Structure 1
Amino acid sequence: MAEAPSGLRILLHQHQKERTPVHISSHADRDRVIEIFKKAILKSDSPENFALQTVQEAIKPQRQTVLVQDENQSLENALRTLLQELVSSAVQSGEDIMQYGQSIDDQESTYGQIPRLLDIVLFLCEKGHVEGGMIFQLLEDLTEMSTMRDCKEVFGYIESKQDILGKQELFGRGKLVMLRTCNQLLRRLSKANDVVFCGRILMFLAHFFPLSERSAVNIKGVFNTSNETNYEKDAPNGISIDFNFYKTFWSLQEHFRNPASTTVAPTKWHKFQSNLTVVLDTFEAQPLSDDDGKANNLEEEESAAFNIKYLTSSNLMGLELKDPSFRRHILVQCLILFDYLKAPGKNEKDGPSESMKEEIKTCEERVKNLLETIPPNGKEFLHSIEHILEREKNWVWWKRDGCPPFEKQSTERKTSHDSVKKRRPRLRLGNRELHQLWTWADKNPVSLLYHILLYVK
């Protein structure tokens, strides 16, 4: 067999007698490999005791033979098929997929068949017997086939193996697959009900990827335009507030979720500016007192509440306007939009015009004055928001400079022996040559006397 390029082969380190290599190309060969691994996952030994022999039995390599890319891909396809069969069997039996096949009488086994299969593949990847990205592909398939309840257990397995998965020889081959897997999980999760699970996934990614990883910083600044705020379009019967104000107020959310569209056309900006003026006029005409802040227990609410989105019912509009926390949320949204429009580095064509800049400045001053007057601790709250927005500018500049890495590289510290300066040798006369002559005369006085006598003669 011709030797394959080094980048396309996987070494099998154990010697065996020469056999005819078997290619897993037909369905019969794939089924044979699946049966071999089905028997392997029933073993209770550590994978290091039988994993390599299992691969050798499935592939039947020659002595000192390597797996080329096609053979490795065929093995991966067989394992993915086996994983799909195990998940399907677990679903049909009504068991959790990570506990499927776990024997109650077996005191030593704490894993089901799927974790055993993953352990075997992970060991083979770690030792270089199979391609390092295979384990990541199986984990991606497993999360796609699992419910969100099962995904939590699957991710728990991933977290328990993160020290091995994070090794450079493995993670370097599968980091894009793992990133895609985690992003798909995040898209499936509910931001309101799965906050802890989302945090676990983000912490996992932060553990492996550097802080300056470009894939996590939204380089293009794309907005989440799918976050729509639905509100009533027609006035219900018996409404106690101005319904026109209600529609004007909630229409601002269309601009907040996509600030870039606000300055596309002058008409859109004028509409936003006029609607915002109506809202600010209402806030100024109905100021909140200190009693309103105490009545709403704002300090306790901020420490305990977790508001994703406010209700938009017209019946609640009057109560929400009296809520200090509600007003703060709306006004902070205004400051974020203004900060985006004034962001550094914008092209003149994309940025606001001079007249818009003046109107932005006027509205911004009104918003800040309102934030200062909202109890309790209005000035302190405004100062914190301004500080956050100022730091956000550094983040914007960093992204527009191409996200240069800002992690400081570790430097080797010099040992104390290297850092100590060597003492200069002491010379009894002016330079090294005279010093050597002087010391030579001290060590050889007879020879010196002989030369003096020759000179006198």
Structure 2
Amino acid sequence: MSSVGIESVDHVTTVFKKLLTRARDIKPTGGIEPALTTQDFEGGIEEIRKHSRGSINLKYAAIETACRNIFYDLLASKSIGDPSFSEVWNLFDILSILSDLEYCEPSLLFWLVEELLDTQTIGGCRIVFDYLDSRRERITAKHFKQKNLVILRSCNELLRRLSRAEDTVFCGRVFIFLFQSFPLGDRSSVNLRGEYHVENITVYEDILPKVDMKVEDGVEVDQKEGNRETEMEIDEDQGKPILEQQKDVAEPMGALAKTVKFDAQNTKSEVRTPDMDTLYPIFWSLQESFSTPTQLFEESNLQKFRNGLDVTMRKFKEVHHDLMARGTTKLPDESKRGVKRKRNGQEDELSSSFNPKYLTSRDLFDLEISDLAFRRHILVQALILVDFLLSLTPKAKKKLEHISNKSVLYNYILSDEHTKWASNMRNDIAIYLQQGPEGKFYYRMVDTVLSRDKNWVHWKAEGCPPIERDSVSAEDFAEAETGARGACANKRLRPMPLGSLDLNFLSEGSDMNVMEKLKDPERYSVPTAESFRRPIADAEFDIDMARTDEEKQQAIDAKASKLWRTLRIASKSKLSLFDKIDDGNKLDALFEPEADEHKERAEVNGTDENQEQSVKEGTPLAMDQEDKPLIENGLERTQESGIK
């Protein structure tokens, strides 16, 4: 871009070159980091404003022309892999500063980034995104409304160049950059009209399955397997190829429904799991329903989808049981792989497996069915479609009556029969996904994503109302702060708080203070078990004399209460007598004076034992009052004779 003869452009170009020279002094080693700021240039940014004259449009045009001339010269002379290419990153930092100060067009930086992405290979685009990731918060903080369309256009153009199979990580980086740049409630990535990806056509081989039909008369019919080429037609109106093999899927489905084995002793029919040749066209025909769910509104298509998904689910369960019987859920030929693959384990293999579109060759079908990651991927697709069908029930549609986006509403209502099937199928898929390595975690992750996606679908159906709240004003913040301080401040206790009850009536109008009556020991002392003997008898009498069921039930409850308290008190002193009580009856054992007799017997036995012990040790025994004088006279005589 030539700027010969334009004085303002020449002056701005001179200032830009001085700023780039200053940036080289600040970052002598080059590279993306650190980011340049206004303070690094010591007032050099203000010189650009001084040298740009005229209206705002002329100033913006002069700065844009000067930047493009310098940018094109750098691209022509430097490679993105060289350290000297850091001058381009320095130029972008300067443009970011000018954009924030409103000295240039806000989207000028992303215009140059878009052109830079167009001139680089995929490897060079990764380096460009290293710069964008490091400056994302800074370059999207201000004037985002003038930049969002350029950001969206450049990222979408880059995604069209990338391969989702080979550049999966880079595609993820681009999407993450978009998600983090755009606000959460932005409508740019919302499919408001509810369009489906009908161009995603799954092409597979047309193989006629072999079906064995056994009927009651014993006649067996074998349908030979046939191979024919896929027929393609060109629609003159749309110009798109249409696959002419879907119509043959109904034939093996009808034959499969007749594949029933009858037993003379057992009247129940046993549905046999189809072989791989029979399952192959049925299985891949499900992809058409996954890409275009609205075709299930026709009864024939929905019935065909039901049969196909039922057959696929039975086959998946059979494969899982076979692999579990062999003691492994890995592929049959996995034991032949290297030691490094064995050390990683199947969990690492499942987490790293990614296939944007599976191959549909018949030779690979057996291996794909044996792959757990493949089965989970298909069942997640089925789970999404089943949830879509359940959203068409009368109960679910009633919740969306008030929505404004009528383009995502459908007049079709799912019948009770299909609703019951969809609910059962969803439960079967949920149980199956929880099996295998890390199955519980895998299903929890899938269920969480689908649950959150339902909220986004409901938000889209309501016309994407704004979900962002305005920032709190300074006045509201100050008022809330004052209220919070008042609520948390220490408060003086009042002698009579508001709403409290006056208790002076307890000490008025009586001879004795009511509070003193509450201190009576009879109110808090534990009664004896014998004190409940008479109340229990009265309760039994009330049970016998009750006239109505209500009176009888009240008497029974009163007896149970007194009985429980009696047993609780007696357990502390008469626990040994509980064996004589039969289910709360025959409480007389607790009230009889058997405990006193046992105590007397124990005292008598203790006295006899003490006498025997005293005899052995030579200690005197206890004596009666009548024997005491005789013994004393004998002792006196003995002493007198001894003295003599």
* Structure 1 residues 116-265: aligned runs within 5 Å: 116-168=90-142, 170-233=143-206, 242-263=276-297, 265=298
Indicate the RMSD between aligned Cα atoms, in angstroms.
4.1
1:281 CA displacement: 4.9
Structure 1 318/384 Cα, relative in aligned 2: closer, same or farther at 3 Å?
A: same
Per-residue CA distance 1:345-398 (angstroms, 9 max, x = gap):
47798354444x523532552463365357438788667655654443323212
Larger RCO (alpha carbons 8 Å, 6+ apart): 1
Q: Which residue number corresponds to residue 454 of structure 1?
A: none
Per-residue CA distance 1:387-415 (angstroms, 9 max, x = gap):
65444332321221233344566653515
Structure 1 120/48 Cα, relative in aligned 2: closer, same or farther at 3 Å?
A: farther
Deviates more, 1:319-328 or 1:26-35: 26-35
Partner SS state of residue 463, structure 2: coil
> Partners of 2:440 and 2:180 in 1: how far apart?
37
Deviates more, 1:305-314 or 1:76-85: 76-85
Q: Which residue number corresponds to residue 399 of structure 1?
A: 460
Q: Which residue number corresponds to residue 481 of structure 2?
A: 414
Partner SS state of residue 295, structure 1: coil
> Partners of 1:193 and 1:380 in 2: how far apart?
27
Q: Is the 8 A contact 1:256 1:337 kept in 2?
A: yes
Q: Is the 8 A contact 1:372 1:379 kept in 2?
A: no
> Partners of 2:443 and 2:89 in 1: how far apart?
52
1:35 CA displacement: 9.8
Partner SS state of residue 262, structure 1: helix
Q: Which residue number corresponds to residue 276 of structure 1?
A: 309
Structure 1 371/37 Cα, relative in aligned 2: closer, same or farther at 3 Å?
A: same
Identical aligned residues as a percent: 32
Q: Is the 8 A contact 1:98 1:154 kept in 2?
A: no
Q: Which residue number corresponds to residue 45 of structure 1?
A: 22
Q: Which residue number corresponds to residue 313 of structure 1?
A: 361
Q: How many residues align?
A: 375
Per-residue CA distance 1:112-150 (angstroms, 9 max, x = gap):
443343233333223322232222222222223332222
> Partners of 2:10 and 2:284 in 1: how far apart?
58
1:285 CA displacement: 6.0
Asked if 1:83 corresponds to 2:142, the answer is no
Q: Is the 8 A contact 1:298 1:324 kept in 2?
A: no
1:157 CA displacement: 2.0
Q: Is the 8 A contact 1:341 1:352 kept in 2?
A: no
> Partners of 2:304 and 2:132 in 1: how far apart?
50
Give unmatched runs, 5+ long, in structure 2: 24-40, 208-225, 229-274, 331-344, 401-405, 495-644
Partner SS state of residue 202, structure 1: helix
Structure 1 121/409 Cα, relative in aligned 2: closer, same or farther at 3 Å?
A: closer
Q: Which residue number corresponds to residue 79 of structure 2?
A: 96
Structure 1 423/69 Cα, relative in aligned 2: closer, same or farther at 3 Å?
A: same
1:314 CA displacement: 0.9
Given residue 350 of structure 1, which amino acid in structure 2 is its aligned partner? Y
Give unmatched runs, 5+ long, in structure 1: 1-23, 103-110, 427-457
Per-residue CA distance 1:27-47 (angstroms, 9 max, x = gap):
644799479638844742145
Q: Which residue number corresponds to residue 570 of structure 2?
A: none
> Partners of 1:98 and 1:36 in 2: how far apart?
28
Structure 1 85/44 Cα, relative in aligned 2: closer, same or farther at 3 Å?
A: closer
Of 326, 350, 353, the residue aligned with 2:410 is 350
> Partners of 2:59 and 2:449 in 1: how far apart?
54
Structure 1 177/301 Cα, relative in aligned 2: closer, same or farther at 3 Å?
A: same
Given residue 359 of structure 2, which amino acid in structure 1 is its aligned partner? L
Q: Which residue number corresponds to residue 88 of structure 2?
A: 114
> Partners of 2:445 and 2:92 in 1: how far apart?
48
Larger Rg: 2
Q: Could you tell me the TM-score, scaled by structure 1's length?
A: 0.66
Q: Could you tell me the TM-score, scaled by structure 2's length?
A: 0.49
Q: Which residue number corresponds to residue 56 of structure 2?
A: 68
Structure 1 221/145 Cα, relative in aligned 2: closer, same or farther at 3 Å?
A: farther
Q: Which residue number corresponds to residue 370 of structure 2?
A: 322
> Partners of 1:358 and 1:34 in 2: how far apart?
78
